[in-house]
Amino acid sequence: MGNLILITADSLRADHMPLYGYDRNITPNLDSLAELVFKQSYSNGPVTPISIPSLLTSKYPLEDGHITVDTKPTFIDDLHSSSYTTGLVTSNIQFERFEYTDRFDYVANGTKAKQNTDGKNETDPLIRLAKWGLHQGGVIGKAAAVAKETFHRFRGPIVSRQPDSDLFMKSEEWISTVEEPYLLWLHGMDTHTPFVFSPEHFEQVSEFEYDPNRFARILERAMTHMRKGDFVWSLDTDQRQYLVDAYDASILNFDQQLGEFINRLDLEETTVIVSSDHGEEFWERGHFSHPGRDTIPRPMTLYEEIVKIPLVMFGKDVPNRKIKTPVSLIDVFPTILDLADVETDTKPRGESLLRIAEANEDLSRPVITQTTSPGDPNHYAQSEGAYRMGSIRRGDLKYIYNEKHDHELYDLSTDPEEQNNIIAARAHEADQLRGELLRYFGEVTDSELETSSSVEDRLKELGYLG
């Protein structure tokens, strides 16, 4: 039994990390710290409100028919029956919206709007008016898009949440006052749009010179394209690369913050798990970022760039190994209870990562993801045209199920970028995987969770609600 720290970086895809084969040295601290590395690690959903419930409950997102945590037991509940004190530090408003924060002893919520360099914030009347106009579409929408782009041409980027540096500082402050043993969960947002980094971080990874106004304009154009399709602008190759570089700079920034934080810990008494909630898209299928609601006219996806994530461990009682057995976020729950030596009456879907590391590698262990499109868990079934999706990977084969569209099958050993759908040639194997996957879909139900008006207002300011 020792202290437990779970660190998740929002939107961090595995293939942008050297531990998973990336050719940019943007995680030097994590590379040196990592002892137990899971090379085939996955989210169980493509966006935060779909993946985090699986991490908390060790259940697949839709096996009970709806996605929210609601009244399901979590690993936090089991830790409360022990001597552990629990803390959560985050700046992701979805954690408050879906009540992930409710069961912790301590919560530091960094979702309040941060101001930009001249003291203005995103609630400026001009921005609110432009957002309203953008949703109208047509001539008004195009004029609003130009107005927002012009605003950022002179104002630069705005971050409407506290940066990871503040979260790590709050985490240190809490650790210095809390009795041991403790569990701390820090969920950072610097690697989520609008990507937080210093000019030095950017120019360390990019061939471009950093210009905050140029970055803000390109990002605004990409976000407008994500929400409205080919509405006003498309981005050229250099502009897209600029945003990839910004993303990599945010990962470098996160890694620096992580390294400084870990250096002040006693790893002989602490076990650390580092992962993410989902990945990020950079036009692999013509899309940027990740979707999530019916006001964004683009489908949810379950391809590798959005569901393959890092999962590494280091510190107390952690072996030094690289593991190829596929794992996912449902395995975090039993791992934490294993490390804490806490029994549970819950029957988790996952297995302890430590037990997986001790066993012989099982490359055929299935990994399952689920989602709805649109992807908002709250009353998704009431959204016009909503449908369910899922994927299962077993061995090298990955099957993608879509309730309303064509199904897909890929051989990841020869087609890691999922470009060649082989479902016609291997229909029998696809049918077997489909049958296995559908066993984990429950009857469709709506969550009864209601969002408070104050949280709704902030969600609209941050662009999560239309």
Per-residue pLDDT of 145-200, as tens digits, reads: 666 666 666 566 667 789 999 999 999 999 999 999 999 999 999 999 999 999 99
Query: What pLDDT is attached to residue 123?
Result: 47
Q: What is the number of structural domains in the chain?
A: 1
DSSP assignment letter at 193 = T
- Of 412, 454, 448, the C-alpha closest to 433 is 412
Largest CA distance in the chain: 62
Instruction: Write the pLDDT tens digit of every residue in 206-261.
Output: 999 999 989 988 888 887 766 655 555 678 999 999 999 999 999 999 999 999 99
Query: What pLDDT is attached to residue 200?
Result: 97
- Of 99, 97, 56, the C-alpha closest to 464 is 97
**CATH for 36:** 3.40.720.10
Alpha helices in 196-236 (DSSP H): 199-205, 212-228
119 within a domain of the structure (yes/no) = no
379 within a domain of the structure (yes/no) = yes
Provide, rounded to the nearest whole percent, the portion of the chain with pLDDT above 90: 66
Count the Cβ atoms, other than its own, within 10 Å of residue 362. Answer: 13
392 within a domain of the structure (yes/no) = yes
CB-based contact 336:317 (threshold 8 Å): no
Query: What pLDDT is attached to residue 14?
Result: 98
362 within a domain of the structure (yes/no) = yes
What number of helices (H) and strands (E) belong to the chain? 15, 16
> Which pair of structure tokens corresponds to residue 4?
């437990």
Mean pLDDT of the chain: 87
Q: What are phi and psi of 302, to 5 degrees?
A: -130, 30
Matching residue, tokens 């898009």: 145
pLDDT of residue 352 exceeding 80, the answer is yes
Which residues form the domain of 17?
Answer: 3-114+159-462
Q: 122 pLDDT band (50/70/90 cuts)?
A: very low
Query: What pLDDT is attached to residue 455?
Result: 59
177 within a domain of the structure (yes/no) = yes
> Which pair of structure tokens corresponds to residue 320?
């030094």
pLDDT of residue 446 exceeding 60, the answer is yes
303 within a domain of the structure (yes/no) = yes
Mean pLDDT (whole number) for 452-456: 59
Matching residue, tokens 């297995």: 351
Query: What pLDDT is attached to residue 310?
Result: 98
95 Cβ contact partners less than 8 Å away, ≥ 6 residues apart: 52, 88, 101, 109, 187
C-alpha–C-alpha distance, residues 388 and 376, integer Å: 12
**Out of 14-18, 139-143, 349-353, which region has the weakest mean confidence (pLDDT)?**
139-143
Q: What is the pTM of this model?
A: 0.91
Query: What pLDDT is attached to residue 160?
Result: 73
Query: What pLDDT is attached to residue 146?
Result: 65
Q: Who has greater pLDDT, 112 or 309?
A: 309
pLDDT of residue 34 exceeding 90, the answer is yes
- According to DSSP, the residues that pair with 318 across neighbouring strands are none
86 within a domain of the structure (yes/no) = yes
pLDDT of residue 353 exceeding 90, the answer is yes
Query: What pLDDT is attached to residue 235?
Result: 86
Q: 278 pLDDT band (50/70/90 cuts)?
A: very high
419 within a domain of the structure (yes/no) = yes
**Out of 122-136, 151-165, 360-374, which region has the weakest mean confidence (pLDDT)?**
122-136
**Out of 29-43, 58-72, 74-88, 240-254, which region has the weakest mean confidence (pLDDT)?**
58-72
